[in-house]
Structure 1
Amino acid sequence: MEETLKRVEMLLLSFYQDNPFVQYLGIKVESVEFGKVQLSMQIHHECTNVYKIAHGGALMSVADTAMGAACLSVNKKVVTLDFNINLMKAVPEDQLIYAVGRILHNGARTIVAECDIVDAANKIYGKARGTFFVNEKFAE
């Protein structure tokens, strides 16, 4: 199991290095466990709105990416079927945030995941939940 997780982690890092939108947003993989992934994203000016806070779409993108990465951590490639998010606090420009994606249901055809968007002090900014369709295995 440990060897498979290491292989999946290496593939996951490579997978997101090749993703242009993830690179544009500056999302980085911080940690990978079976069923749980932590990403980070610095809220740069390009990710803000006219109020100089993180645009909701940027936060939705990092949450969707974290949940998708959690799906990859259980060796499944997925696409998003359904997604919702509650944004609880404004994220100021230049803030470093973390998106922690976790698997709630690991089914053969669908996966349900959640994501907390937090800062280094674990202050919560948002919470998301999504349902994902399983396409295939991530790593053989």
Structure 2
Amino acid sequence: MTVRDMTPDEMAQACADAMWADDNATQHLGMVLSDVRAGQAVMTMTVRPEMTNGHKICHGGYIFTLSDSAFAFACNTYNQRVVAQMAQVTFLAPAFEGDVLRAEAREVWRQGRGGIYDISVTRDDGVKIAEFRGHSRTVKGTHLPEE
């Protein structure tokens, strides 16, 4: 199947597979990409003991990283290489060792070389713990051969 023959969601999955193969950071942290579609991605991560801080809660940097990874997979679904231009996170509630965090990324706006994506992070008990907004920028290159 060529790139031209793919549906948007097939292309999203093929791009995610190509990115996943080289994403050492995401894999090292035990993240799982559970769903990817055009402009969307869902990623989960279990909070491990080494991810907690002096307050015995998940360090915010790990929550940011989970959000950033979901953001990356959502904005790289169109066979264009895309990087983060800017991102901001608001922490709403703590996460604890053993919690499974779920980051749902969705495209808000995409035009030209820019995009905006919102990522909501929830614990496995359904409590929303963070809101992340990322601005993307396309760079040279594709994930899949054009032809």
TM over 0.5: yes
Residue segments in structure 1 that go unaligned for 5+ positions in a row: none
TM-score by length of 2: 0.85
**Larger Cα Rg: Structure 1 or Structure 2?**
2
Is contact 1:39–1:98 with CA below 8 Å preserved after alignment?
A: yes
Q: Spell out, residue by residue over 1:86-137, the C-alpha distance to the aligned partner (whole angstroms, 9 max, x if none).
A: 0000001110011111111111211111100013343211000011111144
Is contact 1:17–1:23 with CA below 8 Å preserved after alignment?
A: no
Stretch moving more, 7-16 or 41-50: 7-16
Q: What is the alpha-carbon root mean square deviation over aligned residues? A: 1.8
Counterpart CA distance in 1 for 2:15 and 2:134 is: 23
Determine if the alignment matches structure 1 residue 60 to structure 2 residue 64. Answer: yes
Q: Secondary structure at the match of 1:73?
A: coil
Counterpart CA distance in 2 for 1:65 and 1:118 is: 15
- Number of the residue aligned with 1:23: 27
The offset of 1:59, in angstroms, is 0.5
Determine if the alignment matches structure 1 residue 138 to structure 2 residue 135. Answer: no
Identity of aligned residues (%): 21
Is contact 1:13–1:29 with CA below 8 Å preserved after alignment?
A: no
Change (3 A) 1:85 1:98: same
How many pairs align? 140
Determine if the alignment matches structure 1 residue 5 to structure 2 residue 6. Answer: no
Stretch moving more, 113-122 or 95-104: 113-122
Counterpart CA distance in 2 for 1:59 and 1:17 is: 22
Q: Secondary structure at the match of 1:22?
A: helix
Stretch moving more, 106-115 or 85-94: 106-115
Counterpart CA distance in 2 for 1:43 and 1:7 is: 31
More strand by share: 1
Is contact 1:38–1:100 with CA below 8 Å preserved after alignment?
A: yes
Q: Spell out, residue by residue over 1:45-97, the C-alpha distance to the aligned partner (whole angstroms, 9 max, x if none).
A: 12111222111100111111111111012333211111100000000111001
Residue segments in structure 2 that go unaligned for 5+ positions in a row: none
